[in-house]
Amino acid sequence: MAESSKSQPADPRDVESIDAIIAAAYDVISGPAGKKRDWNRERSLFYPGALIAPTASVPGRNDVDLAPQLLNVEKYIARVEPLLQQGFYETEVARRTEQFGRIAHVWSTYESRHQSNDPEPFMRGINSFQLFNDGKRWWILSVYWQHESPEHAIPGKYL
């Protein structure tokens, strides 16, 4: 196992079910401005070698408008920590889950706000979680997402 997983055991309540690990994934990144996130909790959710892949515009490239940025957990933390310090709350508003045995795919529609009581989200999108159960707990193998945009509105079936 990767060092971060060995040294960061998960809270059993965070990884006991698909519902629990998805809720923990949203909870750990959410919080008020100035609040340091619990990055050890974040690390504990991900299987060693897991990928975190935001879909984003690619500076300096005119051949594609969006591409995945493949990050490990540490690179993701370094990328988002300053942004989350401004106040960030992400909540799941809809979900579709497919499961076979110990694998699952969760299509999770989200809304993002700067403050928990903001009436409207500043952003929406869909997270695609790939999960694995090792017989003892659930792990996130990867999470890949895309923000909603005028060109890519969230279809009604995902709301």
Enumerate the domain spans of the chain.
Answer: 3-149
pLDDT for position 48: 96
Q: From CA 119, how far away is CA 135, in angstroms rounded?
A: 41
CATH of 3-149, one of 2.40.10.120, 3.40.50.2300, 3.10.450.50, 3.40.50.1220: 3.10.450.50
Q: Is the pLDDT of residue 7 over 60?
A: no
* 143 CB neighbour count, 10 Å cutoff: 22
pLDDT for position 57: 73
Tell me the average pLDDT across 31-39.
96
Long-range CB contact pairs, 66-72, < 8 A, 24+: 66/146, 68/144
SS3 48: strand
Mean pLDDT of the chain: 92
pLDDT for position 141: 98
Q: Is 111 within 8 Å of 124 (Cβ atoms)? A: yes
Max CA distance (Å), the chain: 46
